[in-house]
Structure 1
C-alpha cells in the first residue's frame, strides 16, 4: 500500500520590476540630455522590458538648461533674435513660468520667473575650432536674451551659465543692457575680454527694471587668478598662454571698474564669479546671487522624490573627468544616490576619472563609449547606439 502524500502548495516567485532613474546631462556635440536618456531607456528595455524607467534629463546651467526646465515645468517659450559670440545673428528663447502665490484674501498673485540660457548666445558649440577667438568673443547676445526677459515682465531672471566661448566678464552683456564699458575718452570699447584693460567706467546704468537676478552655475571658480576664468577655462576656448595672461590682467582691471560702478566689494574672489568667462562676476555686480545649477534644476523638477523611489540611478555626460565632480550633473546625482545607499552607474563618452575618486563621490560603476566601441571615432559617430548597447548589458547585470 502506497503511503499517502499530502499535496504541497505551489509556491510562485514574484520578482518586482526594478525602478531605474535615468538622469544624464548632454553629450556635448552629439546628443542632448533628452536623447541620451531615451537611448539608455531603450537599451534597458531590450533586456528587461518589465522594469520601470523614469527619465529625468538634466542640466547644470550649461547647454540644454532651458530645454530641460521647459520639459519639466511647462511655461511659455519666448523666441528671441540674438547674436553668437562673434556677433552673427542666431536664435534663442526665454522660458517664462508663471508661479501663482496665494494672498491673504485667497487671491492669487502671478509671479513670472524667466529662465535664460547663456549658451544659446555664448556657447562654445556655436563656433568651429577655427573660429574661436577668446580675446574678442562677446556676451552681447546674452544681454539681448536678458533684455527680452526683463521686457516680458519677469520679476526674477535665472541665468544658466556654462559651456561658453567668451571671456569678457559679461562686458558684452552689459553693453546690450545699455551699460557699455568705456575708455578714458568716453568711447565704447570693442567687444571681447582683451580691450577691458583700458576700461574706465560704464556708459550708463543697465536697464534691468529692478528684476532679481540669479546665476545658476556649474563652477565655483573666482573671476581671476590661478583658478580664475582665464587660467582654467581660457585654453579650452582657444587661448594661448599669452592670451591667458592678457585676459586675466584685463578681467582683474575690469573687476575694479565694476566694484566702483556698483559698490560690490571683493568681486575678483567671489565664488562663481569666473563662471562662463566671468559673466558670473557681472551678475554678482548687478546684485545677483549664485546658486548651484544642478541643485536648482533637481529641485525644480522634483528629483529628490524620484531618488527616494529608485532602485538604481544611471547618469552620465560626454566626458567624465576631474571637472565632473565639481558641481556638475554627475556629482550632484552621485552624491544624492550615495546619501540614500543607491547604486549609481555613470555612462560617458570617455572616462578620465580614477576609480577611487569616482567611488568617493558615490559612483558605483563607470562605462565609457570609447572603451565599448574601441575607438573615439565610432563613439562620436554612433553615441545613441553605444548607449543602447551599454544599457542593455547593464540591465542584464542589475535587473531582477
Structure 2
C-alpha cells in the first residue's frame, strides 16, 4: 500500500513538515509494510517557503527588514530555490498579523515596506523569478509600502512623499516609477478572488480582522479606489476590479501595478513544484489536513487542491484536522472519503494547541485502524 501525506500547517501550532512527519510516523508504525511519501503543502500563506524548499532542496536566506509597523524591525528572510534561481517571499513573515499584539493591529498605520525589502534582497541575491505568498497580512496599503521599498515614489500635492500606511493612500497625487524596476517574473500566490475595492474588496472583507473600525473600513476602501484611479491614469494599469487584487490588503494589486506581476494559484504552484501528481498517480490513499476543516477549506485552499489531484489520480482521500466543522455530505461530495478531528468534542482551543502533536498522532492512528485495516 502507498500512502501520500500532504498536510498543510496547523496555523500557529504545527508547521506543515512537522504535521506530515507526525502523521507519517503514526501510519508507518501501524502499517510497517506501507510506502509512506511525505509532501508538505501550503497555498501561499504560512509555510509556503518551507514547503517549496523541502521540495527543491532550497536554502533560507536571512534578512532584517521593517516589520508591519514602521517602528519595528524583524529578522526574517526568504526561501532560495537554487535549481532555477527562484526566491520565495512570504509577505506575512515581514508584514503579517502574527507579528503584532492585538492592540497593535491598525491598517491605517501598518505597511508592506518590509515585504518590498525582502523582494529587493531577493533581486540583489540574483533571483530570476520571485514567488510572492500573500496570506496572513496585517496591512491594507495596496502594496504601496512594498513599492516604496523598491524605489517607487508616491507624492502628495506639495511634492513630498506620503507616509507609510493605509491612512496615507488618499493623499497620493503623483506616482513616480524608479529608474530600474523589477525586471524578472513575479508570481503572486493567491487563492482568493476578491477585487481591490467595493463590498468584496480588501478593506470591507479583510479590514476588520486587521483592526479596522467601521470608519476605517470606509476610509481605506475609498483610498484603495483612489489608488486604482491613479494607477490607471499614471501607469495605464487597471487593478480595481481584477479578481484577486484585494489579497493581502491590496498587495496583490500593487504587485500587478508596480512589479508587473501575475496572480496565480498558490496551492497549484506548490503542488506542481512538489511533483505531487506523480506521487499520487499510483497511491492508494492521500491524507491531507489543516488546523480547521470548514467551508473555507474547499475554496482554493490546500485541502481542496490536494483532494482534486488525488481524485484525478484515482486515490482515496482522507482529511485529518484539528477540528472538523464541515458536514459529511459536503466533503463527501468533493470526493473526500473520511474526515477525522484531532481535538475531542468540548476541548478548548488552548488545550488542543498544547497537545497538538499527541492529538494528531492519535488521530492518524485511528485513521489507520479504521481505513487501512491495521
TM-score, structure 2 normalization:
0.93
- 2:292 maps to 319
Q: 1:206 to 1:47 in 2, by over 3 A?
A: farther
**Highest Rg: 1 or 2?**
1
- 1:107 maps to none
SS at match of 1:371: coil
SS at match of 2:322: strand
Of 95, 113, 119, 2:86 maps to: 113
- 2:241 maps to 269
1:20 aligns with 2:3: yes
- 1:167 maps to 140
- 1:78 maps to 61
SS at match of 2:53: helix
- 1:43 maps to 26
CA RMSD of aligned residues (A): 1.8
Larger mean CA deviation between 295-304 and 353-362 belongs to: 353-362
Of 238, 241, 249, 2:214 maps to: 241
Deviation at 1:209, TM superposition (A): 4.6
For residues 36-89 of structure 1, give each alpha carbon's deviation from its aligned partner in whole angstroms, at most 9, with x where no partner exists. 111112222342233222111111111111111112112443221112111311
Of 11, 25, 43, 1:60 maps to: 43
What number of residue pairs does the alignment pair up?
Answer: 371
Of 211, 233, 237, 2:184 maps to: 211
Unmatched segments (≥5 aa) in structure 1? 1-17, 100-110
Q: 1:188 to 1:381 in 2, by over 3 A?
A: same
The question of whether the paired residues in 2 share the 8 Å contact of 1:373 and 1:379 is answered with no
Query: Aligned equivalents of 2:288 and 2:244: distance in 1?
Result: 24
Query: Aligned equivalents of 1:171 and 1:191: distance in 2?
Result: 8
For residues 133-175 of structure 1, give each alpha carbon's deviation from its aligned partner in whole angstroms, at most 9, with x where no partner exists. 1221110000000111111222222211111111111011011
Query: Aligned equivalents of 1:207 and 1:318: distance in 2?
Result: 42
For residues 185-229 of structure 1, give each alpha carbon's deviation from its aligned partner in whole angstroms, at most 9, with x where no partner exists. 122222221221221122442743522211111222211122211
Of 132, 136, 160, 2:109 maps to: 136
The question of whether the paired residues in 1 share the 8 Å contact of 2:322 and 2:360 is answered with no
Deviation at 1:316, TM superposition (A): 1.0
Query: Aligned equivalents of 2:148 and 2:26: distance in 1?
Result: 48
SS at match of 1:30: coil
- 2:203 maps to 230
1:282 aligns with 2:254: yes
Larger mean CA deviation between 355-364 and 321-330 belongs to: 355-364
Query: Aligned equivalents of 2:8 and 2:267: distance in 1?
Result: 10
Query: Aligned equivalents of 1:203 and 1:328: distance in 2?
Result: 37
Query: Aligned equivalents of 1:284 and 1:200: distance in 2?
Result: 20
